Amino acid sequence: MTEPELVDRVKRVLVDEFELEEPDLHAQANLYEDLGLDSLDSVDLVVALEKEFDFKVVRAVDEEKIRAIRTVDDICGFIVQKMKPVAVRPEQA
Amino acid sequence: MPVRRVVVTGLGAVSPYGLGVEAMMRGLRSGSSAVVGMGAEWSRAIPGLTCLVGAPLAERYDPKSIPRKFRRSMGPTAMMAYLAGKEALAQAKAPESLHESGRMGVCFSSTTGSAASLANGFEAYQSKAFPGGVSSSLFFQIMSHTCAANVAHAFGVRGRVVSPDAACASSAQAVGLAFEFLQNGKQDLMLCGGADELHPLVVGCFDLVQASSHHFNDTPGKTPRPFDKDRDGTVCGEGAGAVALESEESARARGADILAEILGFDTLADGGHLAEPRTESIRRCLYNALDNSGVSADRIDYVNAHGTGTIAGDAAEAEAVREVFGEGNVPVSSLKGHMGHTLGASGALELIASIEMLRRGCLIPTLNLEELSEDCKGVDHLRNGVEERPIRCFVKNSFAFGGINTVLVLKRYEA
C-alpha cells in the first residue's frame, strides 16, 4: 500500500462513517475542532479503522496513542505504526 | 396550590399509514387495512414463527433527514419518535427559548429499546465481537429510555426527561404522567408519547405467549379482528405518536392553538396476573380516571378501546366498558383492525386519532368487526363506516402485559 492509497482509505473511512465532506479532510484538519467529532466518534473511528485495515487495537497498549490522535495525518501515522512490519511505501516517483 | 388545566397544542404521528397525522387520518377514514404479509422475511428470521402478518410503515422515512449527530444514537424506534416529536412541536410552535428554559420536559417511551439494534448486539455478543466490534452508539439505541433521551437531546430540552416503560401502555402512561407534571406546575410544556419498531424478535414474543394472530396469514387485511367472534390474536405494527401537552396558562400566554383539553388519568396494576387482563381492574381504572376528570360516565361520547383482537383482552374490556357506561350507551371502537397493534406507540397514536375525531366531528369504526363475539356484546360497537357525529368528551383505554391498565379522559377545549 502506498502512502497516497493509505490517505485515500483513511479519508473514505471518515466520509463513510462520519458523513464528512472529503474536501475538508486535509492532512492537518483537527478531528474535533475542525471536523466536529466527539468522544463517541473517536471510539467508532477505532472500530472502523480496525475493519478497514484489518488490525486489532489493544486498549492497554494503544490507549495513549489513540488519545494523542488529533488530525487526519495523525490517523495515518497511527496506522503505519500498527501495520508494521507490513510496509507502507512512499509514493512511487 | 390549585392544579392547572392542561391542554394539547401539538400532535405528531408516524403510523403504518405513513408519515404525519394527516396520512394516518386519511388511512383510518379510508377503512383500508395497513396490515400486510411478512411471511418470507420473518420465516427466514425465525423459522416456526406462526404470525406472518404485520403493519410496517407504508412510507419509509429518510434517516438522513435527521442530522447525524442526533441520528447516530437512534435505532428505528427513536428515529420515529423524533419525527413524530418534530411534527408535534412544529404544530405547537413552541419557541426555542421554551425548549431551553428548563420548563419544558419530555415523557416518552417504548416497549424496549430498538429491537433491530438489540438483535445486532446479540449477534456481536454471540460471535465474540462484543463490545469492541460494535458502534459506541449501540447502547444509546437499545437502552430502555432511548426515545425520551434521544428526543430530549435532539430538541435541546433541558427540563424533566422521563421514560415510563409500560409495554403497550407506555405512551398512554407517558401522556398521563406528563399531564400530572403540568397540572402540578412542575413543567409548562411536555412533549410526550411513545414509539416501537416492527421486528421479528418482537412478534416472536407475542407468539411465545400465544397472543398473536396466525389464522389470517394468507389474508392479512382481515386481522386483527377486535371484538369479532373469529379474532385470534393481535398483529404487531410500528410507529410513533407524539403529543405536545401544555399548561393552559402557558398555551394562552403565547397564543398557541389549543386542540383539546386533558381532564383525567389513571394507571394501576391488575394485581392478579401479568398476562390475563381482568374486567375488575379495567373497570377500577375507568372509574378512577373518570373520577379524576370530574366527568361522569354519562357525559362520555366515545370510548377508544385498547381492543387488540386477543380473545381474553377484548372480552374483559368489553365487559368493563359495559359495566361502567351502561349497556349500549356509548359508542366504542378499536383502531387496531386498521393499524395493527403499534405497541409502545399505540396509546399515543390512537389518542391522537381520537383527538382528531373530536376536532373533525367523526367516529371511525372498528375494522374487521364482522360478527360480534358473544363475550363482547352489550357495547355500542361502531362497525358501519365512518359516522359524522360531534363528540365533546372521550375516553382512551390502553392496557399492557405486566398487568398495567391506563385510562385517559379528554374533552373539547372550552375557555
Distances from the Cα of B372 to the Cαs of A3, A64, B313, B317, B385, in angstroms? 74, 70, 15, 14, 15
pLDDT category of residue B129 using cuts at 50, 70 and 90: confident
B153 in catalytic set: no
- The class (CATH top level) of B265-411 is alpha beta
Torsion, Cα of B296, B301, B305, B311 (10° steps): 90
For B247-271, write each residue's pLDDT tens digit: 999 999 999 999 999 999 999 999 8
C-alpha grid cell for residue B20? 404525519
SS3 B346: helix
The reported pLDDT for the residue numbered B1 is 66
The reported pLDDT for the residue numbered A58 is 83
Least confident of B119-123, B178-182, B314-318, B391-395: B119-123
The pTM assigned to this predicted structure is 0.94
**B47 contacts: CB under 8 Å, gap ≥ 6:** none
pLDDT category of residue A82 using cuts at 50, 70 and 90: confident
- When pLDDT is averaged across residues B387-401 and rounded to a whole number, the result is 96
For B307-332, write each residue's pLDDT tens digit: 999 999 999 999 999 999 999 889 99
Residue from the list B72, B73, B133 with its beta carbon closest to the beta carbon of A47 = B133
- When pLDDT is averaged across residues B133-137 and rounded to a whole number, the result is 85
CB contact under 8 A, B132 and A47: yes
The count of other CB atoms within 10 Å of the CB of residue B11 is 28
**What residues of A are in the B interface, CB distance below 8 Å?**
18-19, 36, 40-41, 43-44, 47, 50, 57
Rounded to an integer, what distance in angstroms lies between the CA atom of residue B379 and that of residue B384?
14
B129 vs B23, more confident? B23
For B2-34, write each residue's pLDDT tens digit: 799 999 999 999 999 999 999 999 999 999 999
- When pLDDT is averaged across residues B199-205 and rounded to a whole number, the result is 94
Q: Which domains does chain A have, with CATH numbers?
A: 3-83 (1.10.1200.10)
Rounded to an integer, what distance in angstroms lies between the CA atom of residue B57 and that of residue A26?
41
Angle between helices B346-360 and B170-183 (to 10 degrees): 70
SS3 A42: helix
B286 vs B134, more confident? B286
- When pLDDT is averaged across residues B408-414 and rounded to a whole number, the result is 97
Question: Mean pLDDT over all residues of chain B?
Answer: 96
- When pLDDT is averaged across residues B382-386 and rounded to a whole number, the result is 94
Characterize B267-288 residue by residue with b for buried, 16 or more Cβ atoms within 10 angstroms of its Cβ, and e for exposed: bbebeeeeeebbbebbbbbbbb
- When pLDDT is averaged across residues B100-129 and rounded to a whole number, the result is 93
pLDDT category of residue A91 using cuts at 50, 70 and 90: low
> Does A93 score more than 60 pLDDT?
no
The domain segmentation of chain B, as residue ranges, is: 6-253, 265-411
pLDDT category of residue B133 using cuts at 50, 70 and 90: confident
CB contact under 8 A, A47 and B134: yes
- When pLDDT is averaged across residues A11-28 and rounded to a whole number, the result is 96
Q: Is the CATH number 3.40.47.10 carried by domain B6-253?
A: yes
The reported pLDDT for the residue numbered A33 is 95
* Nearest chain A CA: its distance from B64 CA (Å): 10
B376 in catalytic set: no
CB contact under 8 A, B135 and A47: yes
Closest by CA position to B339, among listed B16, B19, B105, B10: B16
DSSP B208-246: HTT-B--S-TT-GGG---TTBTT---B-BB-EEEEEEEE
B347 vs B277, more confident? B347
Q: Does B70 touch chain A (CB under 8 A)?
A: no
Q: Note whether B6-253 and B265-411 share their fold.
A: yes
Looking at the annotation, which residues of A are catalytic?
38
> Does A87 score more than 60 pLDDT?
no
Q: Does B139 touch chain A (CB under 8 A)?
A: no
Contacts of B72 in chain A (CB under 8 A): 40
